Amino acid sequence: MRIGPLNLANSAVLAPLAGITDLPFRLLVKQSGCALVYSEMISANALVRESTKTLKMLDSTTEEKPLSVQIFGTEPAIMAQAARMVASSGADLLDINCGCAVKKIAKTGSGVALMREPKTAEALFRAVRRTVDIPLTIKIRSGWDVSGRQAIEFARLAEACGIDAIAVHPRTATQGFRGQSDWSVIAAVKDAVSIPVIGNGDILSARDAVRMEADTGCDAIMIGRAAIGNPWIFSRYLALKTGQTEPNVDLAMRIETMIRYVRAMVDYRGESRACHMLRSRLGWFVKGLPHAGAFREAIKSVTAEDEALAAIDTFCATLEKRSIPEHEIGATDDEGFAAAEDSGTKQQPAIAGPRNR
């Protein structure tokens, strides 16, 4: 897989997820074999204003490379300035969001609204392309009607402006996050351009990812919500892709992953902030498992790293003591971790919250 001058190790890509794909989460996914990870969607205006909270979203480390940082906005000059800041931060790729259908984003002319303003989009793409040398990509939707024709025309425009790759989420702007994605739109975009096309939407399992590649001819697959609490979906996909058996996720692997996540969160956020966030986030990793409810209840009030680790240890001991069958802990079918993709607006206590941008 190649995007511009950048060679990727494989075709597995993590989607940008608002409130989710921060540095600690990206590291988990990277350790599960994902070749390219995306930041959360970042406001170009906030970057240019040098908002402390926004600047922190550019934090990275060599272990997660390559990293793509996604920005959104409408004004070419501001987007170019933000792009320069992203490139200076050490990001390996820059992505422009042209697909977010959340009303508060679209009403400003950003996100998917750019798809019905091709002249604005063209000016923006060219301004950013002139500013940075790192690979430049975009993420789009089908457009504003079910035909997907806008996606094809927009992809051709992007290619003409020097965009190096396009991620396609084949739901319409009016569809929002409801219904089914139309993978045929991905195939049509792939046929229309010569740059790499990344398929995204309704990948709920490793088998779905392999099927999307076969059905659409896309160059890579992008997984979002199905990776929440289930970073192993990438290793499972890569195994299936190469004709191997999906790796089993046993109790030891789950616990070890949760412990790594706790420590990474504390290192990155500080103990107080990390523990507040872990009260909901740790529940991701036990979804569908026996006694998951008791575990989520136990972590609701954690205030220290040791408390979080103790809760994990107690959960593990409970499963071992009650001899929970291994197939209930490490089933190869990861569909149980995924809900209907892309619902909700803010980070919520459970998996239903974040949006795939």
Residue 291's domain is classified under what CATH number? 1.10.1200
- Give yes or no: residues 260 and 117 share one domain: no
CB atoms within 10 A of CB 61: 14
Cα 128 to chain centroid, rounded: 22
Decide: 66 and 92 in contact? Cβ < 8 Å: yes
**Looking at residue 344, what is its pLDDT?**
32
- Give yes or no: residues 78 and 176 share one domain: yes
- Give yes or no: residues 158 and 297 share one domain: no
Give me the catalytic one of 34, 100, 161, 275: 100
Among 241, 268, 297, residue at a domain's last position: 241
Q: How far apart are CA 198 and CA 224, in angstroms?
A: 13
Per the structure, the complete domain to which residue 207 belongs is given by: 2-241
- Give yes or no: residues 224 and 287 share one domain: no
Name the region of 176 (left: φ>0; alpha: ψ -120 to 50; beta: rest): left
- Give yes or no: residues 182 and 221 share one domain: yes
**Looking at residue 334, what is its pLDDT?**
55
Q: Three-state SS for 340?
A: coil
Q: How far apart are CA 101 and CA 8, in angstroms?
A: 29
**Looking at residue 57, what is its pLDDT?**
96
Among 199, 216, 241, residue at a domain's last position: 241
Token readout for 216 is 């659409």
**Looking at residue 341, what is its pLDDT?**
34
* Amino acid in the structure at residue 43: S
- Is 186 among the domain residues? yes
100 catalytically annotated: yes
**Looking at residue 178, what is its pLDDT?**
79
- Is 337 among the domain residues? no
Q: What is the mean pLDDT of each run of 10 residues along the chain (357 residues)?
A: 95 96 97 96 97 96 97 97 98 97 92 95 98 98 90 98 98 83 97 98 96 98 95 96 89 93 97 96 92 94 97 92 55 45 33 45
Peptide bond into 196 cis (omega under 30): no
- Is 312 among the domain residues? yes
- Is 266 among the domain residues? yes
Beta carbons within 8 Å of 219's beta carbon, 6+ residues apart: 1, 11, 165, 190, 196, 197, 198
Looking at residue 222, which CATH number applies to its domain? 3.20.20.70
- Give yes or no: residues 48 and 143 share one domain: yes
Q: How many domains does the chain have?
A: 2
- Give yes or no: residues 20 and 105 share one domain: yes
- Give yes or no: residues 7 and 90 share one domain: yes
